[in-house]
């Protein structure tokens, strides 16, 4: 069993309109846009990162917004729901805040935690989960400290068959906590508070990715040495893992899991303040060295975020 994985690092989804995506995650949910860059593999598309003040691993929701993108189809083999932690007793307030700005608002309880589930403008599924969480939230976008999102609580994976995924999570260091209403919670100790992965078995067709779909989910490791240990262990177990890829703000490896969800393992180093002051994170368009020569045409092509 691995001991290097420290909870979630980030969740990356597909969106449509970049300005609406920015408005939803900053103005509505109150997160900070900590990096404005492009998809390193397709630089004509933004890669927008939202999180706490500095984009601490375990708080970072990211999007590839393709203007006009067709909506995805929900199904199996995907992240069905991304869970954010909010303080206990705040869901009535959040309900009021999200009314008219988010869709399909609903309340439920899972594993003893009160939840407010909703969908974004792109129909992406989220839940705000009341939980004790000592992380310091970002408060610069109109949600005060008593209510603000602390970071991720975890994520729900929706699968046609959860058996192989349960085995993989165990290998990654997660322990089965409990099963309720057909959903099984796995927790990892010794990492950040984004420590929950819920497995939901569903009898549905495979998901088709599009706007509102999670593209991949990333798990945190401390540094590159830990990442190489994880890579070696996964490879030895038979997973086809990519080489280590430099994403400027972290190092990444990717592998496809049984059931279809794309996993990434990302380093906590070097972080989002490597090329901008903390006070100005996310303000300027940052390009990786290999795409810097495209700056002028990208600045003309990419739609303004604050439109
Ligand atoms: Zn990623």
Q: Which domains are delineated in the chain? A: 8-301 (3.10.180.10)
CA 178 to ligand 1 center in whole angstroms: 28
Question: How far apart, in whole angstroms, are the C-alpha atoms of residue 189 and residue 239?
Answer: 24
Quickly state the pLDDT bin for 284 (edges 50, 70, 90): very high
Helix, strand or coil, per DSSP, at residue 297: helix
CA 60 to ligand 1 center in whole angstroms: 10
CA 70 to ligand 1 center in whole angstroms: 21
CA 242 to ligand 1 center in whole angstroms: 13
Tens of pLDDT, residue by residue over 46-96, are: 999 999 999 999 999 999 999 999 999 999 999 999 999 999 999 999 999
**CA 5 from centre of chain:** 16
Q: Residues 272-291: what's their mean pLDDT? A: 97
CA 89 to ligand 1 center in whole angstroms: 32
Q: Residues 154-182: what's their mean pLDDT? A: 97
CA 216 to ligand 1 center in whole angstroms: 6
CA 96 to ligand 1 center in whole angstroms: 32
Question: How far apart, in whole angstroms, are the C-alpha atoms of residue 241 and residue 225?
Answer: 16
Answer whether 102's CB lies under 8 Å from 118's CB.
yes
CA 55 to ligand 1 center in whole angstroms: 13
CA 288 to ligand 1 center in whole angstroms: 15
Quickly state the pLDDT bin for 306 (edges 50, 70, 90): confident
Global pTM reads: 0.98
Quickly state the pLDDT bin for 190 (edges 50, 70, 90): very high
CA 144 to ligand 1 center in whole angstroms: 28
Percent of the chain having pLDDT more than 90?
99
Quickly state the pLDDT bin for 307 (edges 50, 70, 90): low
Q: Residues 180-194: what's their mean pLDDT? A: 96
Q: Residues 20-33: what's their mean pLDDT? A: 98
- Cα→Cα distances 285→12, 19, 39, Å: 19, 14, 12
Q: Residues 223-239: what's their mean pLDDT? A: 98
Quickly state the pLDDT bin for 300 (edges 50, 70, 90): very high
CA 93 to ligand 1 center in whole angstroms: 31
CA 44 to ligand 1 center in whole angstroms: 17
Q: Residues 103-131: what's their mean pLDDT? A: 98
**So what's the pLDDT on residue 112?**
96
**So what's the pLDDT on residue 137?**
98
CA 218 to ligand 1 center in whole angstroms: 6
Question: How far apart, in whole angstroms, are the C-alpha atoms of residue 245 and residue 218?
Answer: 13
- Cα→Cα distances 250→9, 38, 218, 289, Å: 10, 15, 11, 15
CA 252 to ligand 1 center in whole angstroms: 7
Question: How far apart, in whole angstroms, are the C-alpha atoms of residue 83 and residue 101?
Answer: 18
Is the predicted pLDDT of residue 213 greater than 90, yes or no?
Answer: yes
CA 160 to ligand 1 center in whole angstroms: 24
Answer whether 11's CB lies under 8 Å from 212's CB.
no
Q: Residues 256-260: what's their mean pLDDT? A: 94
CA 247 to ligand 1 center in whole angstroms: 9
Cα angle for residues 191, 197, 203 (degrees, 5° grid): 170
Facing residues of 232 across strands? none
The secondary structure of residue 286, as a DSSP letter, is: P
């Amino acid at each position: 069993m691995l001991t290097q994985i420290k909870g979630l690092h980030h969740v990356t989804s597909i969106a449509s309109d970049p300005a609406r995506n920015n408005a939803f995650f900053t103005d509505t949910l109150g997160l900070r846009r900590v990096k404005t860059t492009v998809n390193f593999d397709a630089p004509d598309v933004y890669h927008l990162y939202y999180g706490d003040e500095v984009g601490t691993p375990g708080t970072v929701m990211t999007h590839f917004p393709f203007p006009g993108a067709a909506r995805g189809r929900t199904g199996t083999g995907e992240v069905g729901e991304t869970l954010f932690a909010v303080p206990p007793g705040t869901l009535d307030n959040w309900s009021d805040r999200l009314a008219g700005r988010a869709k399909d608002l609903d309340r439920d309880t899972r594993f003893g935690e009160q939840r407010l589930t909703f969908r974004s403008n792109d129909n992406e599924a989220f839940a705000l989960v009341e939980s004790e969480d000592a992380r310091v939230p970002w408060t610069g976008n109109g949600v005060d400290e008593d209510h603000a999102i602390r970071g991720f609580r975890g994520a729900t994976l929706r699968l046609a068959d959860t058996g192989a995924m349960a085995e993989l999570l165990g290998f990654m260091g997660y322990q089965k906590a409990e099963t309720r209403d057909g959903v099984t919670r796995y927790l990892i100790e010794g990492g950040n508070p984004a420590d929950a992965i819920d497995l939901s078995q569903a009898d549905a067709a495979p998901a088709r990715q599009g706007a509102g779909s999670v593209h991949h989910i990333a798990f945190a490791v401390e540094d590159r040495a830990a990442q190489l240990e994880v890579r070696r262990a996964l490879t030895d177990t038979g997973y086809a893992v990519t080489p280590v890829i430099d994403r400027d703000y972290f190092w990444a490896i990717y592998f496809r899991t049984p059931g279809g969800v794309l996993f990434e393992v990302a380093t906590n180093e070097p972080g989002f303040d490597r090329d901008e002051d903390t006070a100005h994170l996310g303000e300027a368009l940052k390009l990786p060295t290999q795409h810097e020569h495209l700056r002028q045409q990208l600045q003309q092509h990419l739609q303004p975020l604050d439109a």
